[in-house]
Amino acid sequence: MTLIGSGFKAALIGCGGMGRGHAAKAKSLGIELVGYCDEIEAKAAEALAEFGGSYATTDADRIMRDDSIDLIVIATHHDAHHPLALAAAEAGKHILLEKPMCVTRAQAVEVAEMVERVGVKLVINCKFRIAPTAQKARELLSQPRMSHGQLAMNDSGASGSTWVWHADDGGGLLISTAIHTIDLLTYLMDSEPDRIYAEGRIFGQNKGTAGYPDGLVGTILWKSGGLSTVISTDQGMNPFVSKWFHQMWDGERSAVFSSHMTRVDFGGCEIDHLDARKLPEEEIAKASMMVNLLEAIQTDGDTLCNARDGVRAVTICNALDEAARTGKPQNVPN
Ligand SMILES: NC(=O)c1ccc[n+]([C@@H]2O[C@H](COP(=O)([O-])OP(=O)(O)OC[C@H]3O[C@@H](n4cnc5c(N)ncnc54)[C@H](O)[C@@H]3O)[C@@H](O)[C@H]2O)c1
């Protein structure tokens, strides 16, 4: 059987937890991993030893100059997403870019313009979009009017890894993690954001000095007229709804997403629920942004979370942060 990634050569930049997950997925799809880059030399070398390939380096330019490489996975801390995505696109590489696309809207717009100018494919790994539960809800509910999205996780500082709270390489919990929720709401509401408001508080310890809230409650008014509420916090996870919890309503039908986006319960629809964990293995494996990127390259189609989707999610996060800091509603730029 020919695997969908056969014939593709890739490199990984950022060989930490997520990067190695991507390397394993790439191998399972038949992609040949050629180079590994990390600012910590040992991390790149460990990944090379684990997944195989030609070289490990701390020099991202070596990857960009390598003509054999078709696509680059970028899974670094957040400050490096902007320069690396720009360089990868300029070098003509297709890109799987971890969320957030960038830390600021201005950076994200720059990357989007470069990607569009050069014509490479880019997918942002806002993977809830491709979850079978989200796909089914998009199919069954039309023109949603209201939705709620929530990240409520256990104390993110407890593991000792605090970089997400840094102003330089992290950007706070909202843009680091709750961006999954923001992106999903955008996808489900199928609209551009219009006006945004939020209140934020810092409840816990070990959240750095940059002032990012560890408890944020926000609202989004969409251009469609729809409304969403958002919660982003690390003040504790409820195992019943899971770390991620989303709901949506269209006036006649409703959907409730739980169990880490693997289950959706419907009201007023022809089916009452979908449990994605019970789908055939091949279907579960296909629900991946890496597969989506390969399909977009092969068909010259669009990815499910493209550069403009990435810009939108970053824009909303920036506006929620700004509203929480200033106490003022934010009109979102187009
Ligand atoms: N989509 C998801 O579900 C999901 C889940 C977790 C993390 N992430 C994202 O994945 C990315 C990586 O997160 P992680 O949890 O793997 O972090 P990590 O700290 O485990 O790994 C990041 C690696 O990047 C390296 N790095 C940082 N800056 C670099 C640079 N400029 N050049 C080269 N290497 C650099 C670090 O040395 C580290 O080895 C982040 O964008 C994060 O938000 C996504």
Render pLDDT for 290-314 as a digit per residue (tens, 0 to 9): 999 999 999 999 999 999 999 999 9
> What spacing in Å lies between the alpha carbon of 77 and ligand 1's midpoint?
4
> What spacing in Å lies between the alpha carbon of 169 and ligand 1's midpoint?
10
Q: Based on the domain organization, do 74 and 119 belong to the same domain?
A: yes
Render pLDDT for 29-84 as a digit per residue (tens, 0 to 9): 999 999 999 999 999 999 999 999 999 999 999 999 999 999 999 999 999 999 99
Q: Based on the domain organization, do 83 and 195 belong to the same domain?
A: no
Render pLDDT for 20-38 as a digit per residue (tens, 0 to 9): 999 999 999 999 999 999 9
Question: Which tokens sit at 224?
Answer: 């469609």
> What spacing in Å lies between the alpha carbon of 124 and ligand 1's midpoint?
14
Q: Based on the domain organization, do 98 and 204 belong to the same domain?
A: no
CATH value at residue 190:
3.30.360.10
Question: Is residue 1 in a domain?
Answer: no
**Of 292, 297, 308, whose CA–CA distance to 116 is shortest?**
308
User: Is 329 a residue whose pLDDT tops 80?
Assistant: yes
Q: Based on the domain organization, do 160 and 13 belong to the same domain?
A: no
Render pLDDT for 1-22 as a digit per residue (tens, 0 to 9): 899 999 999 999 999 999 999 9
Return the residue whose CA atom lies nearest to atom 1 of ligand 1.
125
Q: What is the mean pLDDT of residues 110-129?
A: 98
Specify the 3-state DSSP secondary structure of 196: strand
Domain that holds residue 54: 9-126+287-304
Q: Based on the domain organization, do 236 and 252 belong to the same domain?
A: yes
> What spacing in Å lies between the alpha carbon of 35 and ligand 1's midpoint?
17
Question: Is residue 3 in a domain?
Answer: no
Q: Based on the domain organization, do 189 and 165 belong to the same domain?
A: yes
* Inter-residue contact 77 to 169 (CB < 8 Å): yes
Q: Based on the domain organization, do 159 and 85 belong to the same domain?
A: no
Is residue 14 within 6 Å of ligand 1 at its C-beta? yes
Atom from ligand 1 closest to the CA of residue 176: 43
| Contact residues for 166 (Cβ-Cβ < 8 A; gap 6+) | 208, 210
Domain count, the chain: 2
Q: Based on the domain organization, do 142 and 274 belong to the same domain?
A: yes
pLDDT recorded at residue 156: 77
Question: Is residue 4 in a domain?
Answer: no
Cα(309)–Cα(326) distance, integer angstroms: 26
Question: Is residue 299 in a domain?
Answer: yes
Cα(289)–Cα(279) distance, integer angstroms: 18
Cα(64)–Cα(100) distance, integer angstroms: 21
Return the residue whose CA atom lies nearest to atom 5 of ligand 1.
18
More confident residue, 155 or 331: 331
Q: Based on the domain organization, do 250 and 300 belong to the same domain?
A: no
